[in-house]
Amino acid sequence: MTASILITGASSGLGAALAEAYAEPGALLFLGGRDADRLHSVAAACRMRGADVHAQTVDVTDRESTERWVLSAEDEKPLTLVIANAGISGGTGNKMGETAEQARAIFACNLDGVLNTVLPAIPKMQARKSGQIALMASLAGFRGMPGAPAYCASKAAVRVWGEGMRGWLKRDGIGVTVVCPGFVETAMTAKNKFPMPFLMGAAQAAAIMKKGIDANKARVAYPWQTSALTWLLAALPPAWTDGLLTKAPGK
């Protein structure tokens, strides 16, 4: 079956890298993003790789327009893979965490945006007993960080929801993969004013994600060094880690 893939947040960062990773002759890509100029540049790069590309400016926080876009893609060609990638952070480096406006915007994009993208596609996939869904969480979703509480919480919600949905949708022949990246070279991480251990290039990260998604892995967490550190922080009692984390820089 020819791949029909929908990707949100495809105008930059991991979304753009994933679009290029999946671009190949015979593939049909539905790429959504908020920046029209960057989105069309990504679409052009994917066409150069042989893919058929439909690019659409989309704000995933708008439930109705996102649903219309997803269903129009389904009508064009039944989706084999939906990657809910779009996400934002506060990006201020403020140790006191995000502002009230930033917190609401982060949840609207990172959590509601994922639901707005995925939920319209699920009944279609259930009807044909096939499909794959990939949700962009983060290693930051394993432990709340004082400098980015809303970002961490939004990614934790995506991760846990995806883990539950994987078991629920398995009976319908639908795979669900939760992706938990560490630090990757993107416009989002470029705003960080602190050292980022094991920083990885976007193309390398996309290759890791694609391999895991194509294999229907439950979780794709990388790089392993950052994953191990994150899991350790999450496992330790808060009384042991709170003092250390309060000194960490904001996102």
Q: Which of 22, 69, 151, 222 is catalytic?
A: 151
8: left (phi over 0), alpha (psi -120 to 50) or beta: beta
Cβ atoms of residues 200 and 184 within 8 Å? yes
- Residue 115 CA neighbour count, 13 Å, CB half: 14
| Rounded Cα distance, 138 and 227, in Å | 10
Query: Annotated catalytic, 22?
Result: no
| Of 83, 90, 78, nearest in space to 4 by CA | 78
Residue 212: count other Cβ atoms within 10 Å of its Cβ.
19
| Rounded Cα distance, 150 and 99, in Å | 10
Three-state SS for 221?
A: strand
| Rounded Cα distance, 85 and 178, in Å | 11
- Alpha-carbon dihedral angle through residues 214, 34, 119, 14, given to the nearest 10 degrees: 20
Active-site annotation, residues: 151
